[in-house]
Amino acid sequence: MIKTFVACTTEVDDIDLAVEEIVSQLDLDVNMRKNAVGIITCHQESILSGAAKAISCALPFDVVGIITTPSMARGQMDNLLLTVTMLTSDDVEFAAALTSSLAENPRDAIANCYKSNVRKRPALILIYGPYMLQNSGDVYADVITEVSGGVPCFGTLAVDDTYDFSSCFMLYNGEHYTDKMAMVFIYGDVTPKFYVTNMVDRCAIDKSAVVTKSHDHIVSEINGREIDAYFEELGLKQASEAMHGLSMLPFLVDYQDGTQKVCKVFLSRTPERYAAFGGSVPEGCLLYIGSANKDDVLQTAKEAVQQILQDTDGTRGVLIHSCISRTMAIGTDTFVEMGMVNEMFADKLTYAMSYSGGEFCPTQYKDGVATNRFHNYTFIACMF
């Protein structure tokens, strides 16, 4: 059984105080079992000040995670909030590993890391990586699925608050990287439950398009025509050429294999005038365009939390990530989604929530084999 404990601090500059607050809240002498691992989320300011590294080094177990924008834990919500979630157990084991660079060949980097570090089939893999425009997050999920034989993976990509996402660090034992991924292999009797919700069906336009030519997350042809014709038909050609011009519009991908539709966000036009999405859009899939607003974001989050509350007995912990694209639909009320989640959970279970640059969560987990997917515009949760 995994026990979950969460600590947080808003202290960025006084490093000693930040360490003291995290360590005291975790109360290691009382709460830590035989095995443990830490999941950290923080603003990039905690990296620059050294607070994140000091906290990681002060804890007697591996600590991995990401930088993010707003985080929430223990009822606190703040742009500068640093959270540490300790997963600990006497009978479940945790092993952390760091890949080599994902810049040149992400498939080999992830596969080699898995093969070099895994001694038996894990029950669950947690993954934390940087946002890298040149890579599709689906590649990461697909490789892990292939090399592990369908072990479920859950996690997120880092996201910062710079205009060009230039500081999307992931963290591994106090160090930070923009081109590597951390993985946590969890061994033992673990029965995770996964929750995925992206947008309500009424938001999707009742008209699909067939992707006829693509490579990973780059789409060059839809309905047998160039991308320009597709965006022109939708009246979105000009918006598609502007930086973040379509970031608020979710696209639904139907893989045509009976699995749950997956949300993707449009990122930009390539120099060849192709369309770059936040994740893989394979040939033969159906593509739907939708819209979302504050009410839609809150509705989908509410549905997920309601299901979690129905499934919990109050002894389990939850990790939650919500796509940064959802905050664009929310508008200026940055903390409204987190506030609603906090109000609904109250003191019913232990949880931590942060925003994400791309979400990893299975859409199906059956007979020990997961359909691992990479999502955008999505609220995901994993309950241990």
Both 57 and 136 in one domain: the answer is: yes
pTM summary value: 0.94
By C-alpha distance, which of 248, 250, 228, 226 is closest to 238? Answer: 228
Please check whether residues 147 and 181 belong to one and the same domain. yes
Q: What is the pLDDT of residues 44-89, one digit of tens each?
A: 999 999 999 999 999 999 999 999 999 999 999 999 999 999 999 9
Domain boundary among 258, 289, 320: 289
Residue 114 has pLDDT above 80, yes or no: yes
Same domain, residue pair 183 and 309: yes
Claim to verify: residue 137 and residue 56 sit in the same structural domain: yes
* Structural domain count of the chain: 2
Question: Tell me, what's the pLDDT at 241?
Answer: 75
pLDDT above 70 coverage of the chain, percent = 96
Distance CA 256, CA 331 (A): 33
Q: What percent of the chain has pLDDT over 90?
A: 72
d(CA 358, CA 47): 21
Q: Are residues 168 and 301 in the same domain?
A: yes
- Regarding whether 253 and 211 lie in a shared domain, the answer is yes
Among the three residues 263, 289, 315, which one is the final residue of a domain in this structure?
A: 289
At 244 the pLDDT is 58
Quote the domain boundaries for residue 243.
201-289
The pLDDT value given to residue 106: 96
The reply to whether 376 and 238 lie within a common domain is no
30 lies in the same domain as 142 = yes
pLDDT-derived band of residue 141, with 50, 70 and 90 as boundaries?
A: very high
| Beta carbons within 8 Å of 129's beta carbon, 6+ residues apart | 66, 102, 137, 140, 155, 157, 158, 170, 180, 181, 182
- Do both 152 and 216 map to the same domain? no
User: Which of 228, 263, 289 corresponds to the end of one domain?
Assistant: 289
pLDDT band at 201 (very low <50, low <70, confident <90, very high): low
Please tell me whether residues 215 and 190 are part of one structural domain. no
8-55 pLDDT, tens digit per residue, is 999 999 999 999 999 999 999 999 999 999 999 999 999 999 999 999
Q: Is the pLDDT of residue 245 over 60?
A: no
Give the model confidence (pLDDT) of 329-373 as tens digits: 888 888 999 999 999 998 889 999 999 999 999 999 888 899 999
Instruction: Say what the pLDDT of residue 266 is.
Output: 86
CA 176/CA 98 separation, integer angstroms:
11
